[in-house]
Amino acid sequence: MHIGCHLSTSDGFLAMGQTALSIGADTFQFFTRNPRGSRARQIDPDDAQALMDFMKEHRFARIIAHAPYTLNPCSIDERTRQFALDTMKDDLQRMEFTPFQLYNFHPGSHTGQGIEKGIEEITKLLNSIITQAQSTTVLLETMAGKGTEVGSRFEELQAIIDGVELKDKIGVCMDTCHIFDAGYDIRDNWNGVLSEFDRIIGIGNLKAVHLNDSMNGLGSHKDRHQKIGEGSIGLEALRRIARTPELSGLPFCLETPNDLDGYRREIEMLSAQ
């Protein structure tokens, strides 16, 4: 099992790898830029290469770059969609400094246009930014179904994947808090949920997991992350998920409300025999 957490990018790429290793992690996640979506900082190619070497040396799983969560690729507002497109396109170019990693984004909120129109806009955006030449796999994150969010049902994510032309460049990141809040009972029926995912999307398209407990109940559509073992999913279920043999090669990434020490303890708890 590969496990890590969300880290701050402030000291650069290699520093994130070193921080991850220091807390027992062998993967991590970071924001490609400020969550508000402002201009990204310049990438130092040597620093990026140093991280790649470090990850190889320490047998890291793939790392996850997270798009600003404020982007909305399926907004009713054309400028908002264009801003998401421009930002993601630029992110994908920057991702080539750290090739063959994962780029995760929130499919967005249809803001009243309806799920189908939302799916159409997201697909269109993906087809205009994903290129054959890129090494990065783009991931659709499973959502909690808050407001008009698209992607809280496996069927919706599959509909997007169906419309994407370059299918080897796209996959899914499953967030345990989000799918529990969306109504998938991963606490009492993890195997059932995973087979449903496999039937609708295909387990081979699952490329990463966000491992979070939830402050709210099954089907609450809330999206409030909780520390591992302190929410309504619970430690036992989250340990079972993290140890699923079919998912052993994937990065599991904590996005719980923690400082580094808290993350270190959660990694210990989840990986203890």
Minimum CB separation of residue 205 from Zn ion in Å reads 17
* Of 184, 210, 213, 263, catalytic: 210
| 81 vs 225 by CB, closer to Zn ion | 225
* Of 106, 110, 153, 187, catalytic: 106
Minimum CB separation of residue 146 from Zn ion in Å reads 12
Q: What is the distance between the alpha carbons of residues 214 and 222, in angstroms, rounded to a whole number?
A: 9
For residue 181, report the phi and psi dihedrals to the nearest 5 degrees. Answer: -65, -25
Residue nearest to Zn ion (CB): 141
Minimum CB separation of residue 126 from Zn ion in Å reads 17
Q: What is the distance between the alpha carbons of residues 141 and 245, in angstroms, rounded to a whole number?
A: 21
Cα separation values, 221 from 27, 67, 196, 231, 256, Å? 28, 22, 19, 15, 18
Q: Is 66 a catalytic residue?
A: yes
| 141 vs 156 by CB, closer to Zn ion | 141
Q: Is 230 a catalytic residue?
A: no
| 98 vs 142 by CB, closer to Zn ion | 142
- The amino acid that residue 6 corresponds to is H
177, 226 in Cβ contact below 8 A?
yes
Q: Is 58 a catalytic residue?
A: no
* Of 2, 62, 66, 110, catalytic: 66
Q: What is the distance between the alpha carbons of residues 74 and 147, in angstroms, rounded to a whole number?
A: 13
| 52 vs 172 by CB, closer to Zn ion | 172
Q: What is the distance between the alpha carbons of residues 175 and 141, in angstroms, rounded to a whole number?
A: 7
**What is the full DSSP assignment across 190-219?**
HHHHHHHHHHHT-GGGEEEEEE-EESS-TT
Q: Please tell me whether residue 22 adopts helix, strand or coil conformation.
A: helix
Q: Is 221 a catalytic residue?
A: no
Q: Is 263 a catalytic residue?
A: no
Q: Is 178 a catalytic residue?
A: yes
Q: Is 225 a catalytic residue?
A: yes
Q: Is 110 a catalytic residue?
A: no
Minimum CB separation of residue 178 from Zn ion in Å reads 8
Site string for Zn ion, 135-154 (x = CB under 5 A): ------x-------------
Active-site annotation, residues: 36, 66, 69, 106, 141, 175, 178, 210, 223, 225, 255
Site residues (vs Zn ion, CB under 5 A): 141
